[in-house]
Amino acid sequence: MTTDPVNPAPRLDNQDPALFGQTPSQTVGPFFHYGLPWKGGADLVGQSDMGARPELFPEEHYVLNRSPPRGAVGGETIVLEGVVYDAEGKPVPDAMIEIWQANAAGRYASPDDDRPDVPLDEGFIGFGRAATDENGLYRFRTVRPGPVPGPGNRLQAPHIAVGVFGRGLIKRLATRIYFEDAAENDADPILALVPAERRDTLVARKGRNDAWRFDIILQGERETVFFDV
Amino acid sequence: MSLILPYAREDAGQPPSLHPGYASTVARSPRQPLVEIPHTLTETTGPAGCWDSLMGGALADLTTQHKGTPQGQRIIVSGRVLDENGRPVPNTVMEIWQANAAGRYIHKKDQWDAPLDPNFTGAGRVVTDAEGRYRYVTVRPGAYPWGNHHNAWRPSHIHLSLLGPAFATRLVTQMYFPDDPLIEIDPIANAVPTPFRQRMVSRFDLATTQPNWALGYLFDVVLRGREATPPDTEHGEDDHDD
């Protein structure tokens, strides 16, 4: 870019057609709690306050959603929880986890899943959001998803898509949660793309109180597999 | 089953996860290579049209959420949400949050010694119309110091969060203001290579500005779009009735 000292050219900006393309990603920073994770965001089947951190800002500044009512949701209700760790093994207390999943029948509540033969649940969207707590722990309540179609007309094993955000994360990290006891895992076409010795970082296991445990290790030994999607 | 139309991958303007100038990326970014996976129904779907049930109803004026008027320069920010093929992204949610005019967040962990404003929360959300347009009213956020390095200051910015139509189109970004000298010395903005960093710099716009009321800024958000070339398919357009 040249600059004329008499008549400076306008700086390139968002509106410049020559620059048109994907808007770059930036971190959520440490102060997203009053702007993103709403009460109930982590409860995909009930009406609890799970997901938010309202203690981090005054109540009069809570302008996010409040535990909307749900309709009927079929399938097995599960609790999914885990801790986000950094490279030193320290929990990350200012991360945010998002999940996206099919219902128990394996149908996504999205116009881009238009299979009429697989039923939707009136009360189930399948999108959730949870801030990690001061100990780096996130927790969702949802249903165990059914299998969904994959490449080459093969079924994918039941899984939940996960996005990780936080201070120090310039862009979302994407991963998946599979379930340890699912027989379909061995034939899953996405797991097959992951080096065998790292596949278990994508598998949730039954932990305390019958919850499914899925820790997310951002870096280091047993680093979670993250996907280029 | 549904035909999968994959989305384009990241373009050259996306930052890396590790940018040592932004110190907290060092221990929080993966070192193993990302595993590239084909787009399946999981990546090409996403919630749609249910924003009131998720984030809540629209909240497009951040200056009228409390009893009084917030301090600072009132501004209007408007623009369009498009995909990278130039098509509008209608009926999609944009969540926004920001510091107040003094550069202070309402958040309890923000310990900077600048005044809080009881009349300003700094959070809102809007849904794009059929042409992908959005508009919200707020105050221009202030710059603020942070602990990344000696004498580090963040440029004025508004945080934006968009889902778009699919898991693959998710975007969180920050909007900056024109002629802010702090952008060039900000490690977070500078994680994005030039000239693409300038995609995050809004433009002052007199036509958006309302006389005797508020300055106007334009900012378009460009999400990932479907791949320009459809995937190889054995079911061409001419054999739909077999």
Read off the pLDDT of residues B83-98 as tens digits, 9 standing for 90 and up: 999 999 999 999 999 9
Residue B93: predicted pLDDT:
98
Q: What's residue B229's pLDDT?
A: 64
Contact state of B1 with A32 under an 8 Å Cβ cutoff:
no
- Please report the pLDDT score of residue B241 as a whole number: 36
Residue in B96, B75, B92 with CA at minimum distance from that of residue B131:
B92
Chain Cα centroid distance, residue B91: 16
Cβ atoms B225, B7 nearer than 8 A = yes
Q: Tell me the C-alpha to C-alpha distance, in Å, between residue B13 and each of A2, A57, B202, B224.
A: 21, 34, 16, 12
Given the structure tokens 């996907």, which residue do they identify?
Answer: A227
CB contact under 8 A, B34 and A224: no
For chain B positions 41-70, those within 8 Å of chain A (CB to CB) are 41-48, 50, 52-56, 59, 65-66
The residue count of chain A comes to 229
Interface test with A, best of B3, B18, B40, B233 (most A CBs within 10 A): B40
Torsion over CA of B86, B50, A25 and B44, rounded to 10 degrees?
A: -70
Q: How far, in Å, CA of B19 to CA of B90, rounded?
A: 33
How far apart CA A110 and CA A140 sit, in angstroms, is 20
* C-alpha angle B210-B215-B220 in degrees, rounded to nearest 5: 100
Interface contact flag, A163 B167, Cβ < 8 Å: yes
- DSSP at A163: E
Residue B239's pLDDT is 36
To the nearest whole angstrom, how far is the Cα of B211 from the nearest Cα of chain A? 22
* CA A125, chain centre distance (Å): 14
Q: From first to last of its 242 residues, what are the pLDDT tens digits of chain B?
A: 457 899 999 999 999 999 999 999 999 999 999 999 999 999 999 999 999 999 999 999 999 999 999 999 999 999 999 999 999 999 999 999 999 999 999 999 999 999 999 999 999 999 999 999 999 999 999 999 999 999 999 999 999 999 999 999 999 999 999 989 999 999 999 999 999 999 999 999 999 999 999 999 999 999 999 997 655 544 433 333 33
Q: Do A25 and B42 touch (CB under 8 A)?
A: no
Total beta-carbon pairs less than 8 A apart between chain A and chain B: 301
Q: Give the whole-angstrom CA distance, residue B186 versus residue B200.
A: 13
- Dihedral over Cα of B44, B45, B49, B52: its sign: negative
Nearest CA in chain B to A14: B199
State yes or no: cis peptide before A116, omega within 30 of 0: no
The pLDDT value recorded for residue B240 is 37
pLDDT at A9: 56
Facing A35 at nearest CB: one of B1, B95, B198: B95
What are the tens digits of pLDDT across the range B163-216? 999 999 999 999 999 989 999 999 999 999 999 999 999 999 999 999 999 999
Extract the tokens encoding B27. Answer: 């221990």
| Spatial separation of the C-alpha atoms in residues A73 and A103, rounded to whole Å | 8
In this complex, which of B30, B197, B223 lies closest to A218 when CB atoms are compared?
B30
Query: Which structure tokens are listed for B94?
Result: 């944009």
| Separation CA A1–CA B102 (nearest Å) | 33
- State chain B's maximal CA–CA distance in angstroms: 71
* Structure tokens, B110: 């923000």
Rounded to a whole number of angstroms, the distance from the CA of A206 to the nearest CA of chain B is 24
Q: Per-residue pLDDT for chain A (229 aa), expressed as one digit of tens each?
A: 444 456 555 679 999 999 999 999 999 999 999 999 999 999 999 999 999 999 999 999 999 999 877 888 999 999 999 999 999 999 999 999 999 999 999 999 999 999 999 999 989 999 999 999 999 999 999 999 999 999 988 999 999 999 999 999 999 999 999 999 999 999 999 999 999 999 999 999 999 999 999 999 999 999 999 999 9
* CATH superfamily to which B40-222 belongs: Aromatic compound dioxygenase (2.60.130.10)
Which active-site residues of B does the annotation give?
105, 144, 154, 157, 159
Nearest to B159 among A29, A111, A220 (CB): A29
| Residue B16 touches partner A, C-beta closer than 8 Å | yes
Closest residue in chain A to residue B7, using alpha carbons only: A229
